[in-house]
Amino acid sequence: MKPKNILFVLPILFSCLLFKPAVAQEKKAPIEKKWWKEAVVYQIYPRSFKDSNGDGVGDIKGIISKLDYIKSLGIDVVWLNPIYGSPNADNGYDISDYQAIMKEFGTMEDFDALLKGMHQRGLKLVMDLVVNHSSDEHKWFQESRKSRDNPYRDYYHWWPAEKGKPAFRPGAFEADGSGWRYDKTTDSYYLHYFNYKQPDLNWENPKVRQEIYTMMNWWFKKGIDGFRMDVIPFIAKDTTFPVITKEELDSKYEGRWDVYFASNPNLHNYLQEMNKEVLSKYDVMSVAEGAGMLKSTALNFVDPERHELNMGYHFDGTNLGYVTGYFKKMNPNWSLVEFKKIYSDWDAVYDKKGWGTIYLGNHDQPRMTSRWGNDSPEFRDYSSKMLTTFLLSMKGTPYYYNGDEIGMTNAKFNKIEDYKDIETLAEYERLKNTGGNLKQFIEDQKTGGARDNGRTPFQWNDSKNGGFSTSEPWLKVNDNHVTLNAAAQDKDPNSVLNYFRKMVKLRKNNPVLIYGKYTLIDAKNPNIYAYTRELDGKKVLVMLNFRSKKAKLNTKINLKNAKLLIGNYTKSSNGLELKPYEAVVLAIK
């Protein structure tokens, strides 16, 4: 954040001579530094990280066994995907007990050991908070569905059938596309923005909010260091559930349901209440999964003066290139010019206040190298290193998904039976019911939509199952684990893994890469993304070739005395022409 400007009082005579009228000079106050601004966040998908007991599912003890590896990366924070009690309809994002551990993952004693082991190594732990919805097997919902006068009835959103069908709301993981599910026990419909086993909690009920705040405080008193908040912009609802016409959706919400979901009354009242009741009491990180968040609304979440959250992450970047909608195919010829504009525009959002994030992959996305780079053997390593350079040289807290540090790629499964994700299976069923092209759908999942591309087990070594498990994994290991694995890369000083470690160290040793002003260069260049970072008289130039061919750049910067900080080729280019997928970072001042 850049604090308020300080006005210098200029001598009157000097002002009269040089200014018409007198203009006050500006000097920037010191930057407000925070540990979560300077952190590199490493996301662990526990189900796929490391299996300790041979049941084919990653677990907490598996993570504990790899804490020294995690520490060796140089990262500061681990974001752990949900490990709470859950029937696992959506891989833990359907929580049945917020203060218990999923049996497949271990016990609360295992969690306590994990937290202790991380803190002993100077690592912080951020949990995944899922409170837009719960599991339908949570005790609250089990009670809620029993009768219309049950004390827990208003913990969820119900619509009595005698009023007719409720106005349409989409359900993301449903073959019929509906966010309402009929429940015959009380002759009513309940709301679920996602799968029918994930009923939406009623945040308009103060009892629900207090239950959630109590639970959050319980985890913080345990010693965790923050929450990543799943679809938190969706928590507030207009409980009249009015009909939303296409015209209204187009005119008010850019034609997007996620923007409508994130625009309902009381959202920011609830987040401010959460801050007061919980977050303000601890020195912790809070990040919104910014579904439906726009550039025009982002500061409503993270402006420090509003006392809500620390940061949020947008979907504009990861949505780039989808031909039609959420599940569909990727256009391999996505525009780098548009990519640059997206990230430059979002940087501008936080230029004066607030703080942003930067990421290219996570558990909901295809693998970073396959999506934004080139996963062919010829270019995989170069493009992976180039993308790492981007993530760790941009302004904002970088979020890095486990496995991307070794350049893991999409699994590219050939049959629907290999997929496990609720989202992919629902879309396949919908296409099957409507006579869609199922063969083409499978092909499209190899490059674009399938979340399982990012969820295949971590490739630790070249042994059977990639060293992830001694038995058949819950999801197939990528066949390329024989040559692409952490053990092999750890020994190779020029590997993707060791480049990641070097880049993390470079960021930490150069505050200009954390707090420095970002300026885009050669914006219309269709092949190269270049920008400078500048802070306290120091200036760094970052040049990234996103193409599989040589490309030229017009920096208009004198590079005669430039000093190479890092590059992903043995011999870096001089800055006038970059090799395929080349990354070069230069100190130029």
SS3 state of residue 358: strand
Instruction: Look at 90 and 23; give whichever has higher pLDDT.
Output: 90
Residues forming a β-bridge with 542: 531, 585
pLDDT score, position 26: 41
Mean pLDDT score, 544-563: 93
Stated length of the chain: 589
What is the DSSP annotation of 68-115? HHHHHTT--EEEEPP-EE---TTTTSS-SEEEEE-TTT--HHHHHHHH
Please state, in angstroms and rounded to a whole number, the distance separating the CA atoms of residues 442 and 431: 11
Residues 6+ apart with CB under 8 A from 20: none
Across the range 102-111, mean pLDDT stands at 98
What is the chain's percent helix, strand, coil content, to nearest 5? 35, 15, 50
Confidence of residue 323 (pLDDT cuts 50, 70, 90): low
Mean pLDDT of 342-371: 96
Average pLDDT of the segment spanning 53-64: 98
Q: How far apart are CA 416 and CA 427, in angstroms?
A: 11
Encode pLDDT of 233-251 as tens digits.
999 999 999 999 999 999 9
pLDDT exceeds 80 at position 326: no
Q: In whole numbers, what is the pLDDT of the chain averaged over residues? A: 92
pLDDT tops 50 at residue 19:
no
CB contact set of 572 (below 8 Å; sequence gap of 6+): 564, 582, 584
Catalytic residues: 230, 289
Cα separations (Å) of 183 from 47, 105, 186?
A: 32, 31, 6
> Is the sign of the CA dihedral 262, 267, 270, 275 positive or negative?
positive
Sign of CA dihedral 505, 506, 510, 515: negative
Q: pLDDT tens digits, residue range 183-219? A: 999 999 999 999 999 999 999 999 999 999 999 999 9
